[in-house]
Amino acid sequence: MIGPPMPTHRSASARPSRALTAALALLISAGAACSGPVPSPTADATGPTPTPLPTPTPLPTLLFNNAPDADLVALLPATVAGHPVVVPAVTEFAMTPGDIGQVYGALGARFTALQVAYVQTPRLSLFAVHMSPPNATTAELEPYLAAAGEYIGISGLHLEAWTLRTIDGRRVWVRPGDGAMIAGTTLYTWATGGYLFLMLGVSEGQNLAMLAALPGEPVPTPTPAASRSPGAGGSQPASPSPT
């Protein structure tokens, strides 16, 4: 009886090849099933360290609490041009340094005390402010003039109406009132020595008297020109020798 044919050399070698392929396929599948997510490369520990951003310095905040300021009150005269000056206690008016400080931008954040005063007849009103250093100068008030005028009664923002004048040797911003104010009203504002003043009144004589009674910023004294020292323009003639 003749049995099944024996495999040839070629067919015999093919069987192990197919088995090897199947085994490799199983290994690849098993490896894929067991493998986790590919880890991301770690940062180079020797690389540059990011520079931290600077922390911004907080800006000063407006002060909406008005404590009594004896130094500020002491600056105010008891009378002006023969008329009594009324200086109410801070508990008698509702305004605070922060209220008027909103008008003065960055300067207003340094206002620490507010005192009001007035003359009933002829009408005069004064706002006196104490501020923390650095002290403001009268020239530094320029950006806030229009808003300051509107704060005390001007009907609109008008910077061009203010002029920087010298009154009794002091620098002061001055402007006339407008139709929203009593006829003849004039406004004044200036700063000196850590204080700021904003004033309006209907009597020029009384206004000037109050201005003179309060601290003021003197007009800067011009620096004298340097004189030429002897010999600056050449050698001086020699002194005659004694005979």
pLDDT tens for each residue of 41-62: 555 556 567 777 766 656 569 9
User: Cα 156 from chain centroid?
Assistant: 24
Q: Is the pLDDT of residue 14 over 90?
A: no
Give the chain's length: 243
State the pTM of this model.
Answer: 0.69
- What is the reported pLDDT for 58? 60
- What is the reported pLDDT for 228? 56
Give the bridge partners for 124, in sequence order.
Answer: 119, 201
Q: Which of 40-54, 145-159, 226-240 has the highest mean pLDDT?
A: 145-159
How many beta carbons lie within 10 A of that of residue 152, not counting itself? 18
Q: Name the nearest CA neighbour of 207 among 179, 164, 176.
A: 176
pLDDT tens-digit profile of 92-124? Answer: 999 999 999 999 999 999 999 999 999 999 999
Q: Is the pLDDT of residue 184 over 90?
A: yes
Q: Give the least confident one: 18-27, 78-87, 102-111, 141-150.
A: 18-27
CA separation (Å) from 187 to 125, 129, 133, 177, 201? 10, 16, 26, 7, 7
Query: Pairing mode, if any, of strands 124-131 and 195-201?
Result: antiparallel
Residue 71 token pair? 């130094």
- What is the reported pLDDT for 229? 52
pLDDT confidence bin for 29, thresholds 50/70/90: very low
Average pLDDT of the residues of the chain:
81
- What is the reported pLDDT for 220? 82
pLDDT tens-digit profile of 195-220? Answer: 999 999 999 999 999 999 999 999 98
